[in-house]
Chain A
Amino acid sequence: MTTKIRMYTRFERFWHWSQALLILLMLGTGFDIHFNLDVFGYEQANQLHSIGAWLLIGLWIFAWFWHLTTGEWKQYIPSTPERIMAMAKFYAFEIFQGKSHPFHKDPDQKLNPLQRMAYLSLHVAIGPAIWISGLLYLFYGDLDAIPLLGSLSLTTIALVHTAAAFLMLAFLVAHLYLALTMDEKPLSGLHAMITGYEQQDES
C-alpha cells in the first residue's frame, strides 16, 4: 500500500524551481564571464547575471520571510551528533549492504540529519557569501563612500564571489545525485517537488 503525502507547499515548489533556474542562469553566465567561455558573450552574460542577481535576491528575501513566519526554519536545526553519524554510516556503508534508510521523511521533517547540515550551510554560508560579495561587486563603484567597505579591493570581492560559486556548483552536483537517486521509491522526491505530493510506502 502506498499513501500520498502533501510534502511541499505551493510556495516551496515555486521557490525551489525558480531558484533552481536562477542558480543555473547565474552559474552559466558567471562562469561564462569568469572563464571567458563566450557562450553569451561578455556584455550579455554580464547583463543577464545582473538581472538574475536581483531576481534571486528578491526570491531569497521572500524565502527568508516565509521560513521565519511559517516556522519552517526549524527544518534546518542541526540534529544530534548520533543521528548525523547514523546518516553518514548509512551513506558510507549500509547503502551498499541494501539496508533501509535510517531516516523517514515527512512534512515536519523533510530533511535528514546530513541534509539539515548541508542546506543550513547553503542558506547561511554559501548563499550569503555569494549575495553579499555579489552586491559589493555590483556597487563596487560606490563603496568608497561607505566606511570600512571602501578599502575592499575588487580582487578580494571577486575571489570570494568566485570561490562561493565553485562551492555552489559542487553543491548542485551533490544535490542532484542525492535528490534523484536516494529516494525509497525512485524519483518520488522529484515527483513531490513538482506536484507537492510524495508517494510513500505505508509503514
Chain B
Amino acid sequence: MINPAKLFYAVTITLVFSVCSANTTTPSYSAQSSTADHSQFEELQKPFKTGPEVTQACLGCHTEASKQLHQTTHWTWAFDNELTGQALGKKNVINNFCVATASNWARCTSCHIGYGWKDDNFDLTSEANVDCLVCHESTGTYKKFPTGAGHPNYVPKKWPPKVGKVRQPPDLSKVAQSVGKPGRSNCGVCHFYGGGGDGVKHGHLDSSMHNPARELDVHMDASGLNFDCQTCHTTGSHQVAGSRYAPRASDDRGIVVPGQEDQARASCESCHGSEPHPETSNSKLNDHTDTLACVTCHVPEFARGGRKTKTWWDWSTAGRKNPDGKGIVEKDDAGYDTYNFKKGSFKWEENVVPEYRWFNGEISYSLLEEPVDDSGVMPINRIRGEAGAPDSRIWPFKVMRGRQPYDSGNKIFAVPHLFGKDSDAYWKSFNWSNAIKVGLQERGMEYSGEYDFIETEYFWPITHMVAPGENALSCDSCHSAEGRLASVEGIYMPGQTRNAWLDNIGLLIVAGTLGGVSLHGFARIFARRNRKED
C-alpha cells in the first residue's frame, strides 16, 4: 500500500528541489540572450537571391548599421596610425604573404565584410554592399566564395576550379533567419584563415580556436569560460577594440570599470590589472609586469592547437612545372604544401617558440612609397621599444620571413598582380615582369622593368592562445644560461647575466683565501715536524 502522507512528502520535496535547483542554475556564458528571434520576422521569411538583398532587409530595421560599419577598418581596409602618421590597412600595406591587395581584389576581398570589391572602383559608401551575414549568421553554412569578391556562390560551383569539390550555394533565407551575436567562428572564418589558409598568417589564430581546450586558450576554453572574441575585443557601434597596427603594449589604465572613459578590454590588464598573480604564488611574479607583457610567459608557444603556421615563404622559386606543363606541388608528411608552383617554397612550424623584443606599441611599416634597402634583410615593419622605458615591455612575436619580388631598378617593393583572368596575372602566365608592371600601375607607381627578390621579415605580436598558469613558462625558461630572453638587450637576468670581471675577481679572492689558509696550514705542519726532529 502507498502511504498518502509519504507520497505527499515525496512529491513536495521533489518539487521544492527542482524549483531550487532551477533557481540556482546560472545561464551559461554564451547562452543566446537576445530578445529577438529573427526566424520569426516576416521580412526574412522569403527567398533571397543575393547577399545585398539580405542586407537591404536587415537595414529595414537596423537603419544605422551600414553607416556604422562604413566607419570601421573591417570595411575601409584603411587605418590611419595616429602614432606614426602612416596610412595603413590592407589597402595600403605590403606584406610577405600574398604581398598586396591592389590588382588582386576579387581574391583578397573574399575576406572583406562587403560585396563586390573587385577593383579600384568599389563604392565604399554603398549601404547594401555591407555583408551582415558573415559576422552574424549562425548556421555555419554561409561561406564567401574564394574568388567571389565577397559574395558567396549563388549557384553550385567547384573550388578549386575544375578539380575541386562542388560548393552548394547557401540557403540565404535560412542563413538570414539565423542571425545573432557573432560567435568565435564568425570571426574565425576570416581571422583563422588569413594568408590563404588555416593558421597561415597569425600562428596564434587558427581553426583550433573554434572550440579550444583549456590548455590552448584559458579564456576561450569551450568547456570552461567559453569567451567570445568580443568578450575582450569589446564593441560599440560596430567598432571593435584592439588593433594589430596600433597595439597597446602596456596598459596602465587599471581594471576597466563602468564610467571609465576608455572601455576597451582588448588587453590582459584591463581585466587582470598590473598585479595579476595572487599573493599565494611566487611573490616575484608581479614584479615582472613592468618589464614583460603578460603573453610573454602565458603564450609559451604559438601554433599549439595541432595546426601549423607558415614561417617562411619564398616567392623566388615559384613557377616550376613538370615537362608536361603541369605545375609542381610538393607536400610534407602532414599534408602541408612545401612547394607550390603558384606561390613558391614554404616552411611550416607548430608549437613555435616566439622571438622576443622590446615593444612600446609603435609599429612603422615599410610602405610602397619608401625605398627598399636591398643590402640585407628588408623589414616589412619595424617595432619600436626601449629597454626599461615605462611604456615598453618585452613582447613575443611571430616573425614571418621570406623572399618576395621587388623592383630592383626603382628600389621599391613590387605589387605583383597575381590573381585575375587576364594574361598579365602571374597565376595565368607566370611572367613576373608583366605581373609587377600591372600591379604597380594599379598603385600609381612606375615599373623600371627590372625585378629581383629580396628577403623580408615581418613582426606579428602574439596575443592569443593564452595558456593557463600551470602551462605558462617557468622561471628557468628565461633564468638560465641559454634562456629565452638571452638575446634581449638591456636587462639584468639573474641566472643568466654575469659580469665576468666581478666573477673572476670574486672567485680569485675565494680561491686565494682557500690557497692561503691551505699553505698556512701545511707550513704549520711542516714547521712542527721540523721542530720535533730538532
| A residues adjacent to B (C-beta < 8 A) | 33-36, 41-43, 46-47, 50, 91, 95-98, 140-141, 153-155, 158-159, 162-163, 165-167, 169-170, 173-174, 177-178, 181
Q: Which residues of B contact A158 (CB under 8 A)?
A: 492, 494, 497
Chain B binding site: helix, strand, loop or mixed by DSSP?
helix
Asked whether A177 and B521 contact (CB < 8 A) given A97-B527, A162-B502, A167-B509, the answer is yes
Asked if B327 CB lies within 8 Å of chain A CBs, one says: no
Q: How far in angstroms is the closest Cβ of chain B from A187?
A: 15
Do A170 and B510 have beta carbons less than 8 Å apart?
yes
Contacts of A97 in B (CB 8 A): 527, 531
Interface residues of B (CB under 8 A from A): 282-284, 286-287, 290, 474-476, 479-481, 491-492, 494-499, 502-503, 505-507, 509-510, 512-514, 516-517, 520-521, 523-524, 527-528, 531
Contact partners of B507 in chain A: CB under 8 A: 166
Q: Assess the B496–A36 pair: CB atoms within 8 A.
A: yes
* A169 with B510, Cβ < 8 A, contacts A42-B475, A163-B502, A181-B521 known: yes
Q: Is the CB of A177 within 8 A of B517?
A: yes
Q: Contact partner of B494 among A34, A141, A173, CB < 8 A?
A: A34
Separation in Å of the B483 CB from the closest CB of chain A? 9
Given A140-B287, A158-B494, A166-B510: A98 in contact with B480 (beta carbons within 8 A) = no
A47-B282, A177-B517 given; A141·B475 CB < 8 A: no
A52 to chain B, nearest CB (A): 14
A173's partner among B496, B506, B510, B523 (CB-CB below 8 A) is B510
Output the nearest chain A residue to B479 by Cβ-Cβ distance. Answer: A42
Assess whether A42 is in contact with B495, with CB atoms less than 8 Å apart: yes
Q: Contacts A36-B481, A159-B499, A166-B506 known; A43 to B476 CB distance under 8 Å?
A: yes
Given A36-B496, A98-B528, are A43 and B481 neighbors across the interface (CB < 8 Å)? no
Among A96, A154, A163, A174, the residue within 8 A (CB) of B506 is A163
Who on chain A is nearest to B531 by CB? A98
Chain B neighbourhood of A141, CB < 8 A: 286-287, 290
The 9 A-B pairs at the shortest CB distance, nearest first, are namely A166-B506, A141-B287, A177-B517, A96-B527, A42-B476, A43-B475, A154-B492, A170-B513, A155-B492
**B380 smallest CB distance to A (angstroms):** 34
Residue in A41, A95, A167, A170 whose beta carbon sits within 8 Å of that of B524 in the complex = A95
A46 to B284, CA, bound (A): 9
In angstroms, Cα B506 to Cα A163, docked, is 7
Complex CA distance for A177 and B519, rounded to whole angstroms: 11
A41 to B477, CA, bound (A): 11
Supplied contacts A174-B513, A174-B517, 6 more A-B pairs, CB within 8 Å:
A36-B496, A41-B476, A43-B476, A98-B528, A141-B290, A158-B494
Contact across chains for B506 and A162 when beta carbons are under 8 A apart: yes
Residues of A within 8 A of B520 (CB): 91, 177
A to B CB contacts below 8 Å, 21 in the list: A36-B496, A42-B475, A42-B480, A42-B495, A43-B282, A46-B282, A46-B284, A50-B283, A50-B284, A98-B527, A140-B287, A141-B290, A158-B492, A158-B494, A166-B510, A169-B510, A170-B513, A174-B516, A177-B517, A177-B521, A181-B524
